[in-house]
Amino acid sequence: MLKVLLVDDEPFIIQGLKVLIDWEQEGYTIAGTASNGKEAYDFLKKESVDLIIADIQMPVMTGLELQETIRKENLSNAYFVILSGYADFEYARRALQNECMDYILKPVDREMLLKLLNRVSAMRDEDDRMQQKNRKMEKAYLARNQIALIKGKYDDSNLQYVTSQMKCKEGVRYVEIQMAECDADEDVTDQEMREFQRQMYECCTAFLRDYAENCVFDVSADEKIYDVGLIFFRYMAEEAGLDEKAYLNWLVEYLGENLSRPVTLLVGKNVQDISRIARSYGNACMLRSFQGFRSKKDIYFYEEEVQVSNDGMVLCKKSLDHLLKVVEQNNHMEIRSAVDQFYEEMGQRGVHGEAMTLNINYLLFQLIHLASEQDDEVNQEEILRLISESSFEAGTIRGSKSHLMRFACEYGDYLSQLRKNVSRGVLGNVEKEIRENYADNLTLKGLSEKYYVNSAYLGQLFRKKYGQSFKDYLNNYRMDRAADILLHSDKKIILVAEEVGYHDLDYFVNRFIQVKGCTPAKFRRQMQQ
């Protein structure tokens, strides 16, 4: 409903306007009335309206004076219509100079008033569309400048714009918000991940309220990472009467209560100001890679997980370098022996806690370097994380000796595959498997085992070539086959679903709608017509 303020010193005029038309039917509600411009002015200081219809001649403050005052003080952006019994062009000219929308004479004609209201409604709709469009453009422009700072590719123009639009003070961190790893499996399609990513963003902005602009959608822009970024200033926690950890825990609890899946926060190191936010972003990226070697948490803080003091720390460099050598050679027997030696040395030298973390971090950094020497186009940090997760089994402690042993063997396989450039033949085999056995329970892990390729690496190769995940590619292929069956047969929908590999009819119908834009039954009718 659009809100109207009626202003006239003659009560019967006000009453006449009220009953002249059915205001609600036209989409309006009379928010208030006033007997002169001063009363209307006081009303507008408390409430906003969309349309003001005011008499031109009134005591205390005339309609023209009211119009000039609210425009001068920017008190209201309501459409203004002058109402008068004086057919004097000078009044109209002066009113139009102050952005008066129209000038109508008493007695008010019903049809003329209806046309006026229709015009106001159309103008308000157009204004709303333009405002919404402008807000989206401003938001997108701000996000582009924020991402430039976050990625460290910015100039003074980027920095000045961000600082002019945000409340920037000393003490800032980058926080990456993403779906918890336990839920990010291959059964979740790219579309579902994207939808959840948008839900995360909307939920975060609702939590941040006045600081919603600190939330940035899809910072990484990586095909495998569905993230939301948060530029987190210390003052945000202080204003809430909390320290930084308590505030971020509050955020995690809020997201957990309002989202269908759990999330994880990766919190970069505190930096002095927003011009250095890229350093904190780099910390969060590192945390993303190292999650597989840490115990499961809702929040990972960089200072706690990665950066440790070197005072009195022991680095088992000799045994670590030997382990790196046999991983590069992909000698599984030697890898197991080297892991045993590494843990034995740590035990003999009393290495535990933060010192053990330092040693593991050294190993991981060197492994990333080894992979980057083989293929600098593959996301090495993502491979590190995925292999770590695939090496983890029930009953195995993350980052334990058995976990590290399995990881090192799989990473050795991965490096070997990089050297052989296995993508030439294996993708063709996988594509053939889908064509011939699409109705079977095909999985990326199963195919990787069949063709002796690391599943994480195969997944990245698949995305690189086809621009989508294996799961989405298989799903789309099945939908194409289902559409073909629907078109050339009269089989029941449930039989079609089973023929292409779906035993849950509702799941099949939902997937078909996502890919084809309508239900299988509607698709068949449209094709027959």
Report which residue type is found at 459.
G
pLDDT of residue 95 exceeding 70, the answer is: no
> DSSP string spanning 120-151?
HHHHHHHHHHHHHHHHHHHHHHHHHHHHHHHH
Q: How many CA atoms lie within 13 A of 79 on its CB side?
A: 20
Residue that the structure tokens 């498997």 belong to: 433
> DSSP string spanning 163-205?
HHHS---S-EEEEEEEE-GGG-STTS-HHHHHHHHHHHHHHHH
Residues 399-457 pLDDT 10s:
678 888 888 888 888 888 777 765 557 778 888 888 888 888 888 888 877 877 777 77
Alpha-carbon gap, residue 476 to 511, rounded angstroms: 9
Spacing of C-alpha 166 from chain mean position:
19
- Structure-block tokens of residue 319: 């045994």
Query: For residue 21, what pLDDT is reported?
Result: 92
Residues in contact with 412: Cβ distance below 8 Å, sequence separation at least 6, in sequence order: 326, 327, 328, 329, 330, 331, 332, 335
Pairing mode, strands 2-7 and 28-34: parallel
Query: For residue 277, what pLDDT is reported?
Result: 93
Residues 197-245 pLDDT 10s:
999 999 999 999 999 999 999 998 765 688 999 999 999 999 999 999 9
Query: For residue 285, what pLDDT is reported?
Result: 84
Q: Which region among 163-167, 295-299, 376-380 has the lowest average model confidence (pLDDT)?
A: 376-380
Query: For residue 350, what pLDDT is reported?
Result: 75
Residues 307-356 pLDDT 10s:
444 455 567 888 888 999 999 888 999 999 999 998 888 888 777 766 77
**Is 12 in a helix, a strand, or coil?**
helix
Residues 143-162 pLDDT 10s:
999 999 999 888 999 999 99
Q: Tell me if 85 sits within 8 A of 26, measured CB to CB.
A: no
**Strand order in 28-34's β-sheet?**
28-34, 2-7, 51-55, 79-84, 102-105
Alpha-carbon gap, residue 97 to 80, rounded angstroms: 12
pLDDT of residue 41 exceeding 80, the answer is: yes
Instruction: Say if residue 254 is exposed, middle or buried (CB neighbours under 10 Å; 0-12, 13-18, 19+).
Output: middle
- Mind spelling out the 3-state secondary structure of 290-320? HHHHCCCCCEEEHHHHCCCCCCCCCCCHHHH
For the chain, what percent of residues have pLDDT higher than 90? 39
Average pLDDT, the chain: 84
Query: CA angle 445-448-451, nearest 5°?
Result: 150
pLDDT band, residue 190 (cuts 50/70/90) = confident
pLDDT band, residue 511 (cuts 50/70/90) = confident
Residues 347-393 pLDDT 10s:
887 777 667 777 887 888 788 777 777 665 566 666 666 666 666 66
**Is 380 in a helix, a strand, or coil?**
helix
Alpha-carbon gap, residue 451 to 474, rounded angstroms: 18
